[in-house]
Amino acid sequence: MIIIGCDYHPGFQQIACVDIETGDCGEQRLPHREEAEKFYRDLAGQGKSVRVGMEASGQARWFERLLSELRFELWIGDAAEIRTKRVRKQKTDRQDAQLILKLMLEDRFPQIWVPNWENRDQRQLLWHRHRMVQARTRIMNQLQAVALNEGLRCKKRLWREAGREQLEAFRLAPWASQRRRDLLELLDRLNPTIAKLTQAIEQEVEKCPEAQRLRTHPGVGSLTAMAFVLIIGRADRFQCGKQIASYLGLVPLEESSGNRRRLGHITKQGKLTATLLISGSGASDGAQPPGMAE
């Protein structure tokens, strides 16, 4: 087996490798992506088993797909924990690759759980809908400002038929009128898109028994249930509920000293996607104005 420690960067990767059968070692800098892909495909052509270790990072989906296609084993490690195992105060790409390789050979590599490709694609559905709702909210806030400037204060009623007629009837300056028209057109385009994404989430929930069980809890809708299932993944990787709450960033801020204990708002220092989709999903699962259900 060939074991490779990979220090991954968006434009290149520095690797340190060893063949545990022959003892041959090597180091190499592989520019992305043609040269790196050629290197790994050549290894696959030799018929040897390969294990690659790297820190958790972004912009590496193509690399993960390549290793999966070649049936290479990929270990992804906790970057913060790997950093604590560095002894020398010098830091270079070569030393980072050598450290990852050393941790893998000594069985000290802090491997983390990685969701499968189906899980990742479903996360993209939730994230895409979340971004579309954010865009719609920004547009609605701008239209509310236009209405307030013209003396119309009707809050949620602005999105009903009568409220919209009043908004469109205002006589505005040419560019203000153009802005209002463009914002209304964007809003009309976003509503069907969000409704389609919401329906897709409902369909995914129907295929997921875990999400259906979560949805039986009062106040938990399809979005919250699906997000929780996708982010948590395998629950047995957590030892207790407190670890799950910490992972999601839903534990309270604490400033305690001596006999005084003070707890504040939730830290939101956990998984960013989970924090956005779960702690902020109460508004999405609650009542909305007609035609604005999220």
Band of residue 276 on the pLDDT scale cut at 50, 70, 90 = low
pLDDT score of 287 more than 60:
no
Q: For the chain, how many residues are written?
A: 294
User: 90-112, pLDDT tens digit by residue?
Assistant: 889 999 999 999 999 999 999 99
pLDDT for 16: 95
Range from 181-190, 206-215, 251-260 carrying the lowest mean pLDDT: 251-260
pLDDT at 86 over 60: yes
277: Cβ contacts below 8 Å, ≥ 6 apart: 126, 127, 130, 223, 224, 227, 231
Percent composition of the chain: helix, strand, coil (DSSP 3-state, to 5): 55, 15, 30
Cα 122 off chain centre by: 11
Query: In the chain, what percentage of residues exceed pLDDT 70?
Result: 91
pLDDT attached to residue 284 = 44
pTM of the model: 0.79
Exposure letters 131-146 (e unless 16+ CB within 10 A, then b)? ebbeebeebbeebbeb
Within 85-173, residue ranges assigned H as helices are 93-105, 117-149, 161-169
Separation between Cα atoms, residue 103 and residue 143, nearest integer Å: 56
**So what's the pLDDT on residue 294?**
43
Per-residue pLDDT band for 291 (boundaries 50, 70, 90) equals very low
CA angle 249, 251, 253 (to 5 degrees): 105
User: What is the rounded distance in angstroms from the CA atom of residue 197 to the CA atom of residue 191?
Assistant: 10
Cross-strand pairs, 126: none
Beta-carbon contacts of residue 145 (< 8 Å; ≥ 6 apart): none
Task: For residue range 20-68, list pLDDT tens digits in order.
Answer: 989 999 999 999 989 999 999 999 999 889 999 999 988 899 999 999 9
* Least confident piece of the model among 114-118, 185-189, 222-226, 271-275: 271-275
pLDDT, position 270: 67
Do residues 68 and 74 lie in contact, with contact meaning Cβ atoms separated by under 8 Å? yes
pLDDT of the residue at 258: 85
Alpha helices (H) in 9-92, listed in sequence order: 34-45, 61-69, 79-84
Q: Give the mean pLDDT of 11-28.
A: 93
Calculate mean pLDDT across residues 240-262. Answer: 84
**Residue 77 pLDDT exceeds 50:** yes
**Cα 211 off chain centre by:** 19
For the chain, residues classed under CATH 3.30.420.110 are 2-105
- What is the rounded distance in angstroms from the CA atom of residue 147 to the CA atom of residue 155? 9
In whole numbers, what is the pLDDT of the chain averaged over residues?
88
With a cut of 70, say whether residue 286 has pLDDT above it: no
> Is 59 exposed, middle or buried (CB count within 10 Å of its CB: 0-12, 13-18, 19+)?
exposed
CA 78 → CA 67, 175, 205, distances in Å? 19, 52, 30
End-to-end Cα, the chain, rounded Å: 51
> Which range (75-79, 87-91, 112-116) has the least confidence?
87-91
What is the pLDDT, as a whole number, of residue 182? 97
257 against 14, higher pLDDT: 14
pLDDT of residue 293: 41
CB 39 within 8 A of CB 28: yes
Q: Are 3 and 18 in contact (CB under 8 A)?
A: yes
**The pLDDT of residue 225 is above 70:** yes
Give Cβ neighbours of residue 205 (< 8 Å, ≥ 6 apart): 211, 212, 215, 222, 225, 226
What CATH code is assigned to 2-105? 3.30.420.110
* Dist. CA 61–CA 162, nearest whole Å: 48
> Is the pLDDT assigned to residue 281 strictly greater than 90?
no
**Cis peptide, bond prior to residue 164, ω within 30 of zero:** no
